[in-house]
Amino acid sequence: MRLVNSILSLLFALIFQTISTAQLPKSLPLQKEKLAYAQEVEQEAISKNDTLLMAEAYYLNGKIHVAARDYLKSKDYFMKSLRIVEQKRKFDKVSRIYVQLSGMENDQHNWDKALNYARLSLAYSQNGPKRTQLAAYQIMATAFAAVYFHNPDSTQIRSLTDSIFYYCKQGERIALILKEPTALAGTYLTLGEFYQYQRNPKAFRYQQAALRLFKEMGHKLNQALQSQELARTHLLFNQPDQAYPLLQASEKIYNGLNFREFELEIKLARTYTLYYQQKKDWQNAFKYSELARNYEYDLLMADRDGAVSRLGVEYETEKREDQLKSQRRELALSQQNEQNQRRFLVVLIVLLLGTGVASVAFYRISNKNQRLSLHNAALVKEQNHRVKNNLQLISSLLSLQSNRLDDESARHAVEDSQRRIEVMSLLQRKLYDGDSMIAVNIDEFVRELTEMVLEAFELDRVHVSYQILPTVVLPADYAMRIGLILNELVTNACKYAFVDNPHPTLKIEATLDKKTFTMRVSDNGNGFDVAKEQTKSFGLRLIQMQVEQMYGTYKFDNEGGVIFEMIFNLLPTYNKWEK
């Protein structure tokens, strides 16, 4: 447990280090009124023992968490609802869940998954009511448009164009039959965006129709979004004078709303940039370009802040639940052992002469103790497995966020944090897969970690020399800190020492003399000014922090490249690892 706490504390320190220089806006809150209604539906389902009503409650909770951009939680709710409605063969409800899943994957830029979910929604909607078919046609058009807009294969252009137009027209037909202005406006919006992308004048007709419907329905946010899109279409046709009033109207409507919508802020700033570029007002164009960049950064920080906070809460909740379950198991096992002991005493008193029966009793108790030991070992493995899965989940989240970054330095900072998390994930995998669940073979760990970092930088020509005692086995606490230090050293070598180096070389040495551990890492780069870099490099500060926590010392030299040497003494408790 101390190891788990140490890993999680360091993990969150690494993540927040990359975002500590900015004042982050709060992530989107849950809609209280809708959340209260969903809770009412859930309570009614529990009181009536109605599984279909419970599926409805799960579905409502999923939509609420999608609006708050909590995609992990929302997908969990949708999958719970899906299992129930599939079992009950309620195919219209199955279809609408796949509509939500497709939209959610679109928001996360998972275009192929979004299209697969959309196809499932359409398949389940065919024998259902027209409203269900309408939603399926619209999500199909949206999914195909997303693939079309994001670098499709050149051989797919004609097929995608036909699919977008077909599903939009099917949605328009049903929306007109049902007299659904919201659905009709959504169809016009997709067609307008499609023709805008093609720079086809037909975009004006569909965007103006969508804007008119949104005004009639009083949808302020959609009015602001569509006004901005129509302004952008005018600019694509070099009509800045027609675009400017629409931009002002969009900005005025948005300023009257009582919440932030990052996507609209970014689009407005980008469209203003395009407008001022066409007007050759370069000062204002630059100002709005910087504003768009700041809004993108705010969006990234809000998403990351919300994701990290939710992960922290979920981890703490899961940890408390695991502790309670473990305590209950221990209590049950203790009571069972006491009961077995009482029975054994009765058997001894009644059957003093029955040595055979006593032997059988001893044999049974021995088997139970063996099962108890195996069970405890399984619990430790399960805990390591959970930690490994959590680390992999957070690494995936950071990878997702880094893909959305345009700023090179911010993306590198996120990627550095991701590699540090992968060091911890590698350690957990070693613990989970190895014979020992609390100790690591340093030779294997160092080799695999070094190869992992070199592979991340696609450096397969580096000559690596290892001189490590093969029998060194250290506790996980030591292994984690050594791994983080080695990760920083190899990463720095990949970034600076091996660039334009015709013969890149890396040498890693480690020895253990009684209780004194020494590690030496050197490369053949140009070296660097340690005193200067240490004041601004988070990686060097991380190395210093890890060495201090092991009560060790370290130094850097520049002799034909960077040479790092670290020495620390193992604590007295190391004796048990030697055995």
Task: Say if 168 falls within a structural domain.
Answer: no
Domain boundary among the residues 435, 460, 477 is at: 435
pLDDT at residue 560, as a whole number: 81
Residue 425's contacts (CB-CB under 8 Å, 6 or more residues apart) are 388, 391, 392, 395
Q: Are residues 319 and 411 in the same domain?
A: yes
Q: Are residues 379 and 419 in the same domain?
A: yes
Whether residue 11 has pLDDT greater than 60: no
Give the residue, 372 or 39, on which the prediction is more confident. Answer: 39
For the ranges 144-153, 201-210, 442-451, 559-568, which has the lowest average pLDDT?
144-153
Whether residue 416 has pLDDT greater than 90: no
Task: Say if 564 falls within a structural domain.
Answer: yes
Give the residue, 90 or 188, on which the prediction is more confident. Answer: 90
Task: Say if 191 falls within a structural domain.
Answer: no
* DSSP string over 529-557: -HHHHHTT-HHHHHHHHHHHHTT-EEEEE
pLDDT at residue 482, as a whole number: 92
d(CA 544, CA 532): 15
The percent of residues above 90 in pLDDT, for the chain, comes to: 18
pLDDT at residue 29, as a whole number: 64
Q: Which domain holds residue 485?
A: 438-579
Across 116-130, 178-192, 378-392, which has the greatest mean pLDDT? Answer: 116-130
Domain boundary among the residues 400, 435, 470 is at: 435
Read off the CATH number of the domain in which 458 is found.
3.30.565.10
Q: pLDDT tier at 358 (50, 70, 90 boundaries)?
A: low
Q: Are residues 430 and 448 in the same domain?
A: no
Question: What own/partner pairs with CB < 8 Å and gap ≥ 24 does 30-39 have?
Answer: 30/64, 30/65, 30/67, 30/68, 31/64, 31/67, 31/68, 34/60, 34/63, 34/64, 35/61, 35/64, 38/64
Q: Are residues 579 and 442 in the same domain?
A: yes
Q: Are residues 401 and 453 in the same domain?
A: no
Task: Say if 355 falls within a structural domain.
Answer: yes
Task: Say if 486 falls within a structural domain.
Answer: yes
Q: How do residues 264-319 score in pLDDT, each as one tens digit?
A: 888 888 888 988 898 888 998 888 888 878 877 776 766 555 555 445 545 554 65
What is the average per-residue pLDDT within 450-458?
A: 87
Please choose, from the candidates 265, 402, 404, 306, the residue with its C-alpha nearest in 3D space to the C-alpha of residue 24.
306
pLDDT at residue 77, as a whole number: 93
The length of the chain is 579
Torsion (CA) 150, 412, 264, 196 in degrees, nearest 10: -20
Q: Are residues 454 and 557 in the same domain?
A: yes
Task: Report which secondary-structure segment, H or E, holds 129.
Answer: none
For the ranges 37-51, 320-334, 373-387, which has the lowest average pLDDT?
373-387
Task: Say if 344 falls within a structural domain.
Answer: yes
Angle, nearest 10°, between helix axes 355-403 and 2-17?
A: 0
Q: pLDDT tier at 329 (50, 70, 90 boundaries)?
A: confident
Q: pLDDT tier at 205 (50, 70, 90 boundaries)?
A: confident
Whether residue 117 has pLDDT greater than 90: yes
Q: Are residues 502 and 428 in the same domain?
A: no
Task: Say if 194 falls within a structural domain.
Answer: no
d(CA 395, CA 389): 10
- Please give the tally of structural domains in the chain: 2
pLDDT at residue 398, as a whole number: 57
Q: Are residues 417 and 525 in the same domain?
A: no
Q: Are residues 346 and 370 in the same domain?
A: yes
Contact of 515 with 508, CB cutoff 8 Å: no
Q: Are residues 446 and 573 in the same domain?
A: yes
Task: Say if 534 falls within a structural domain.
Answer: yes
pLDDT at residue 19, as a whole number: 33
Domain boundary among the residues 435, 463, 491 is at: 435
Contact of 125 with 92, CB cutoff 8 Å: yes
* DSSP string over 55-104: HHHHHHHHHHHHHTT-HHHHHHHHHHHHHHHHHTT-HHHHHHHHHHHHHH
Task: Report which secondary-structure segment, H or E, holds 178.
Answer: helix 157-178
Q: Are residues 390 and 456 in the same domain?
A: no
Whether residue 567 has pLDDT greater than 80: yes
Residue 475's contacts (CB-CB under 8 Å, 6 or more residues apart) are 438, 439, 440, 574, 577
Q: Are residues 443 and 573 in the same domain?
A: yes
Whether residue 17 has pLDDT greater than 50: no
Please choose, from the candidates 265, 306, 296, the residue with its C-alpha nearest in 3D space to the C-alpha of residue 405.
296
Q: How do residues 463-486 score in pLDDT, each as one tens digit?
A: 999 998 767 888 888 988 999 999
What is the average per-residue pLDDT within 500-510?
A: 91
Would you give the distance in Å from CA 401 to the centre of its chain? 8
d(CA 209, CA 206): 5
Please choose, from the candidates 312, 224, 302, the residue with its C-alpha nearest in 3D space to the C-alpha of residue 11.
312
pLDDT at residue 485, as a whole number: 93
pLDDT at residue 33, as a whole number: 83
Average pLDDT value for the chain: 78
